[in-house]
Structure 1
């Protein structure tokens, strides 16, 4: 059986083209190259990459210019390399000293696991510190039931012409809570058009990958955490989950300014982190703004 070098090239949607990567992979001996323009925050949803993996056989080598073409998450990269190893597929990066067929490549696999665990621990620490800091600064609202209790006040303020941002500040609730209240009100009162409902507000399409893990092997709360977060998102915004069993979501979020959008994404992250903390879990959240390619992780 002839072992083949198979190339994979990727640029984000904001990059110019794939020419350089394809040229490098061709020079490296790849006669079959799969390429695409898509965000690299997650493996799911990358059609060309899936086709590449399906094409490869026992003994083949996957060639990329840099390993960040495969993933921006060490944990995802570790899982991918493990899957390749199980299929006896090697990995090589032309611009980095990475070749899993060599002794140094095997050492790379061992170190990858160490750094993936380190990355996870850092995320957990940042999650805890972020919540603590937000609480200290009075910016963290949590998932308080009082937000729903302020529905009447919120609607009246919007009707009086106050912006969504101003309503959130006056009632001391999160912006996402204001959108939740308005979404519910629109469903219950479709003929009542509130001020700003037909304004030049923009809709951001957010592509989200949510990973939930238990803090220890003795904790079993991650499925409940995911359900809590999904319910919150579905109540607040227009949410889709392409694969009911997957980790990927599409949220359509209304906003007026870039600052407001950034704050909303930050609030989504904090609320999800809080939901995880309550059940002794932690989350990893990657968000891509489909229209601009902006990435939060």
Structure 2
């Protein structure tokens, strides 16, 4: 497939989980792919909500740039997180390339990747919401005491998570919902949704 011409930069991202792992193989591949700049997270688990290198990359990228990783799992800490990042890139007109998997959304066929990940993210949220609502209903039928009513219902939490992944500030979303930032973060964790910084 032919690659479309993009006017932006190739921005690299490399990550290893432990201090004793080396970034050199990823950095070599990113430099060979003509990435500049390259952001790094060394000794940072993919499960961490905040990663300095990834945070800096998300602040730096602009429309028409291409985010390049050596492998898909270097970027996302879960499939939902990865899906949300790719959807965010699509909405911000940022391309994505994974060298090992041969994914390049600047190609006509590669654009399909954005649509697949977008559909997956929506499906995953709907599944989490449905499971939560079914669990609550089953507990009520059994007569379980569910404790104090939650300020935020599952629908509000899922929508808040979608807005966060689209780049909205969590403080603004919390204000809009009439709750504290801590309450919002706790609610998102309760549903098992990963949240990007």
How far apart are the structure 1 equivalents of 2:188 and 2:85? 25
TM-score scaled to structure 2, two decimals? 0.61
Structure 1 residue aligned with 2:68: 63
Query: Any residues of structure 2 matched to 1:209-224 within 5 Å, and which?
Result: 212-213=157-158, 223=177
Q: Which runs of 5+ in 1 are unaligned?
A: 146-210, 215-221, 231-243, 250-267, 273-282, 288-297
Paired residues of 1:75 and 1:117 also in contact (CA < 8 A)? no
Distance 1:143 1:269, change over 3 A: farther
Q: Which runs of 5+ in 2 are unaligned?
A: 1-5, 150-155, 160-175
Query: Any residues of structure 2 matched to 1:209-248 within 5 Å, and which?
Result: 212-213=157-158, 223=177, 244=181, 248=185
How far apart are the structure 2 equivalents of 1:269 and 1:59? 31
Structure 2 residue aligned with 1:16: 21
How far apart are the structure 2 equivalents of 1:14 and 1:35? 13
Q: CA deviation at 1:29?
A: 2.5
Query: Any residues of structure 2 matched to 1:92-241 within 5 Å, and which?
Result: 92-127=97-132, 142-143=146-147, 212-213=157-158, 223=177
Q: Does residue 1:38 correspond to 2:49, yes or no?
A: no
Structure with greater proportional strand content:
1
Q: CA deviation at 1:69?
A: 2.3
Structure 2 residue aligned with 1:284: 192
Paired residues of 1:7 and 1:34 also in contact (CA < 8 A)? yes
Deviations 1:109-159 (A, max 9, x none): 11112211222233234445666888999xx763279xxxxxxxxxxxxxx
**SS of residue matched to 2:157:** strand
Q: CA RMSD in A?
A: 4.2
How far apart are the structure 2 equivalents of 1:14 and 1:128? 41
Residue from 83, 92, 97 that aligns with 2:88 = 83
Structure 1 residue aligned with 2:10: 5
Deviations 1:183-240 (A, max 9, x none): xxxxxxxxxxxxxxxxxxxxxxxxxxxx9126xxxxxxx947xx5xx8xxxxxxxxxx
How far apart are the structure 2 equivalents of 1:124 and 1:35? 34
Higher normalized contact order (CA 8 Å, seq sep 6+, divided by chain length): 2
TM-score scaled to structure 1, two decimals? 0.43
Q: CA deviation at 1:7?
A: 0.7
